[in-house]
Amino acid sequence: MSNWVAPFLDRPVDSVVDLPGSKSITNRALILAALATGPSRITGTLRSRDTDLMLDGLAAIGVGVDCHPDDPTTVDITPRPLHAGSIDCGLAGTVMRFLPAVAALATGDVTFDGDEQARSRPLGTVLDALRALGAEIDGDGLPFTVHGRGGVPGGPVTIDASASSQFVSGLLLSAARFESGISITHSGAPVPSMPHIDMTVEMLEKAGVRVEFDATATRWRVAPTAVTAVDWTVEPDLSNAAAFLAAAPATGGRVSVPRWPATTTQPGSAIVGILERMGASVVHAPDGLLTVRGNGRPRAIEVDLHEVGELTPTVAALCALADGTSVLRGIAHLRGHETDRLSALSTEINRIGGQCRETDDGLVITGREAADLEPALWHSYADHRMATAGALIGLRVDGLTVENVETTAKTLPDFVKMWEAMAGTAS
């Protein structure tokens, strides 16, 4: 781990940032390709720690994985009989919550473990659900073992997915291969990040798997069927784009991102509307180039981020620089992410002289002039989005240092190089 002095700008940023592929789409495409009836090619694959852990996890239980030597973002996946193996989840929620259902289809024991911080992440919901569907599993969190029997009976199951939409997606992605399919009923507070489930449903249907669901977002049903092989093209990661786009209002400058999709299920696209509400202007050109311009100091905002919790660190960092008091709601579930993001954001914003307090389901942040903030050490908590939030504030606070910036490799291995290039400080 190293401490990284974030680039400081005493001028408006002016940059074009080309983002790699979406982690969420990449890891869903890899699962569907592994369970399909034939080979698939995935282009634009994000190559990051999280996605490489997914690739390695699938290969460990028998899936054919061929990464092109001349273009590592092009990956060929060949389904093969699944067998015993060992899977390292790292800190990847999609690996620890999507692969157990796949492992239950294997023949033999599949062990799961991950980073120390991952052992506190909630997994009981998906593991208990798989037990109820007929899988045999030892353990309620990392490390745990799935005793694969070559199939899963499937059927009806009731879960509480109020802590993470990944519990629903993790079951749906493999459900068509269960002997009786699956019928999920959610019982509890509203499921967060519903756009991620919409993404899962859309991708399943592209692979020939029909998902029946109700308008209340509490029931989903998948009948047993073949998963069609699809050649996937992965969109740029719009959640990773958020911090770069926020640099425009943070500095009163301009940032453009090419290949922004006209329509998408990625929750990260919501950053556009949020930045507009905070005073930025946005232009989406016909060729896909999205440009955000800052128009003075960002405005404070009151916003419910329940559906787009992953944007919270970026929005909170911008609120710390904004004019007025911001209220971020609907994000109590972030206490169960890579770290307790609400506590971490409050601690770090206050550490540098900002004003932030936690509420039951969010944060209240009173923005301060950048000159009144202190260049202290911003702790990342081994959380990639905490690190990028620190980098964003560092654009306006000369000398702010981000601890363990390497954690950004989870979803964006070249973050430091890309951020310094955007700021014009790359060596």
Q: What is the pLDDT of residues 395-407, one digit of tens each?
A: 999 999 999 999 9
- pLDDT, residue 84, reads 98
- Does 417 show up as a binding residue in the annotation? no
Residue with tokens 């311009």: 293
- Does 40 show up as a binding residue in the annotation? no
Q: What is the mean pLDDT of the chain?
A: 96
Closest CA to 121 of 147, 103, 102, 144: 144
Residue 336 — pLDDT band, cuts 50, 70, 90?
confident
Residue with tokens 């054919």: 64
- pLDDT, residue 117, reads 87
Q: Looking at residues 312-336, what average pLDDT do you find?
A: 96
Q: Could you give phi then psi for residue 92, rounded to 5 degrees?
A: -85, 110
- pLDDT, residue 217, reads 83
**Interatomic CA distance for residues 238 and 231, integer angstroms:** 21
**Interatomic CA distance for residues 236 and 231, integer angstroms:** 16
On whether the CB atoms of residues 100 and 114 are closer than 8 A, the answer is no
Strands, DSSP E only, in 354-423? 355-358, 363-366, 377-378, 401-403
- Does 193 show up as a binding residue in the annotation? yes
- Does 165 show up as a binding residue in the annotation? yes
Taking CA 196 as the corner, what is the angle to CA 190 and CA 197, rounded to the nearest 5 degrees?
A: 65
- Does 337 show up as a binding residue in the annotation? yes
pLDDT digits (tens, 9 = 90+) for 136-148: 999 999 999 999 9
- Does 24 show up as a binding residue in the annotation? yes
- pLDDT, residue 196, reads 93
- pLDDT, residue 121, reads 85
Tokens, residue 159 = 């879960």
- Does 28 show up as a binding residue in the annotation? yes
- Does 93 show up as a binding residue in the annotation? yes
Q: Looking at residues 378-402, what average pLDDT do you find?
A: 97
On whether the CB atoms of residues 79 and 36 are closer than 8 A, the answer is yes
Q: Looking at residues 84-104, what average pLDDT do you find?
A: 97
**For the chain, which domains are there?**
3-20+236-423 (3.65.10.10), 23-222 (3.65.10.10)
pLDDT digits (tens, 9 = 90+) for 276-302: 999 999 999 999 999 999 998 999 999
pLDDT digits (tens, 9 = 90+) for 67-78: 999 999 999 999
- Does 183 show up as a binding residue in the annotation? no
Residue 183's H or E segment, with its range, is strand 182-186
Q: Lowest mean pLDDT of 37-46, 74-83, 85-94, 331-340, name the range.
A: 331-340
DSSP string, 27-96: HHHHHHHHTSSS-EEEES---SHHHHHHHHHHHHTT-EEEE-TT-TT-EEEE----EEEEEE-TT-HHHH
- pLDDT, residue 228, reads 98
pLDDT digits (tens, 9 = 90+) for 222-249: 999 999 999 999 999 999 999 999 999 9
Is pTM beyond 0.75? Reply is yes
- Does 164 show up as a binding residue in the annotation? yes
**Interatomic CA distance for residues 294 and 172, integer angstroms:** 41
Question: Half-sphere exposure of 73 toward its Cβ, with a 13 Å CA cutoff?
Answer: 13
Whether residue 427 is predicted with pLDDT greater than 70 in this model: the reply is no
- Does 68 show up as a binding residue in the annotation? no
Residue 213: CB atoms within 10 A of its CB come to 17
- No. of helices (H) and no. of strands (E), the chain: 12, 23
Cite the active site residues.
310
Residue 426 — pLDDT band, cuts 50, 70, 90?
low
- Does 120 show up as a binding residue in the annotation? no
**Interatomic CA distance for residues 199 and 202, integer angstroms:** 5
Q: Could you give phi then psi for residue 270, rounded to 5 degrees?
A: -65, -15
